[in-house]
Amino acid sequence: MKKKAILYLTMALCVGMAGCGQKEKLKADKAFEKEFKEVSVHDPSVVQGDDGSYYIFGSHLAVAKTDDFMNWEYVNQGVKNDNSVIPDVYLNMKEAFEWSHSNTFWAPDVAKLADGKFHLYYCNCQGDAPVSCLGTAVSDTVAGPYINEGLMLKSGMGAEEKDEDGNLYQATTDPNTVDPCTFYDAEGKLWMVYGSYSGGIFIKEMNPETGLPLETGYGKKLLGGNHLRIEAPYIIYNEETGYYYMFLSFGGLDSTGGYNIRVCRSENPDGPYVDSMGQEMEDCKGAAGTSFSDATAALYGTKLMGGYKFLWKEGEEGEEREGYLSPGHNSCIYQEETDRYFIIYHTRFENRGEEHEVRVHQMFFNEDGWPVIAPYRYTEESLKEYTKEELAGNYKFINHGREISADMAESDEIQLCTDGKIKGAAEGTWNLKKDCKIELELDGKSYKGVYLKQWDEDGKKYVMTFTALCSETGVSVWGSGLNAIEE
């Protein structure tokens, strides 16, 4: 029990070569340099307000907004009675605090429902045990004030206390009632997926008008059990592919926890979900009598990104750069007017302890209908067709692998040659397809994705990048051009 307590407390921590066609230009015009305004919002869940701005709600009632996904400003920081999001919070949320033996909130979700109101799905947790609760509050405006509707789910009941269905709570098979995400399916039905560690990830159908559960109980289990370190489920529907994509964070959220983002998909909102290797996620569960088995969890889920670092190369700016550690607990949003998908997550950084910041990257779907994440944070870039000669060149190459590890994936160097060969730290072939698609064959495995020009924040230059995924192995790779290109 002591080991479990320590790991649950960890969950609670929430404290940022030749033959190639690219020009030999290492420094970009300073006029093109991008600037960012950072915020620290753990577990950011995104929603668009009626004012057109995008808001993120996170743990500890941290709320921020942006108009461009680059510059953020705080709406609220911290759980305090004089906040504008939930006024008199300790009085109005007294039941939640008392049940969870806590004085703060964990990862929430906000959604605008069919009634035209914004519904805040909040959750509280003791931290060293899955003693948690999940409830709703409602507001006419996205920034509040939110009026509490009360609790809908509880977990961690004592040995003699039964749940609302008359069953004794079992932490290895029943959920920790935190990390909610609500979404409408293609038929207009409303669902809530939730869960963290403990008995796994669960889903319930909700009333699309009121946002409240249609039935009692915990709902349907999608995956997990025996305290596998899997949490932060977030589901989006892609009308073009016809799939529901469930994003998950594996590992521990602190800087040495190996947090990483994975995905699986289903043709139905409530599953069954499978990863790109064809494995059914309902089989992803710890063996009886085990706890926190990362070796088991790592076998499942298509890994999109983990900790990483594009290493400095002589001649570049940004010699003193920080690697990204434990990126995770993401949300996603589709921007219809620009036909862009975004993934929003928090990350920690090399040599900065438990400090964290929000990052936003563009996300695309490859030929096989799997998401791939752009290597660099969003700076209003768009897909544009380039020739093979324009893409050819030296690249920093990152393989995200499949491990749950505190180690960063550091970049090696490869060369995309004009004759279609790949040389260097990885060898194979590469080819371009229409709509900015790229396919690489490495060690006999096919990686499919997209290429695009992006702003290299550390190197202060525009570079060509690619992001690709091997469906067979569930491994993602990134490439960042070494040489600067014209804006």
Residues noted as catalytic: 43, 231
Q: How far is CA 367 from the centre of its chain?
A: 21
Closest by Cα among 182, 169, 180, 90 to 130 = 169
Q: What is the DSSP string of 404-443?
A: --SS-EE-EEEEE-TTSEEEESS-EEEEEETTTEEEEEET
Rounded to the nearest 10°, the torsion over CA 109, 115, 116, 119 is: -20
CA nearest 44: which of 60, 32, 21? 60
Question: CB within 8 A of 265, min separation 6: which ones?
Answer: 243, 244, 245, 246, 273, 274, 369, 370
Q: Would strands 201-206 and 190-194 be described as parallel, antiparallel, or unpaired?
A: antiparallel
Could you give the CA distance from residue 269 to residue 190 in angstroms, rounded to a whole number?
Answer: 9
Phi-psi region of 270 (alpha: psi -120 to 50; beta: other; left: phi over 0): alpha
Look up tokens 């340099």; give the residue.
33
Q: Walk across the sheet containing 63-66 and list its strands.
A: 45-48, 54-57, 63-66, 72-76
Three-class SS state of 199: coil
DSSP string, 263-321: EEEESSTT---B-TT--BGGG--PPTT--S-HHHHTTSSEEEE-SEE----TT-S-SS-
Task: Write the single-letter amino acid at 118.
Answer: F
Handedness of CA 58, 60, 61, 65 (dihedral sign): negative
- ∠ CA 273-224-266, nearest 5°, is 5
Q: Which two tokens stand for residue 406?
A: 């505190």
Instruction: Tell me the C-alpha distance between 385 and 437, whole Å.
Output: 9
CA–CA dist 216, 279 (Å, integer): 30
Closest CA to 176 of 229, 136, 212, 250: 229
Nearest to 354 by CA among 42, 56, 5: 42
* Distance of alpha carbon 421 from alpha carbon 341, whole angstroms: 31
Q: How many CB atoms lie within 10 A of CB 221?
A: 19
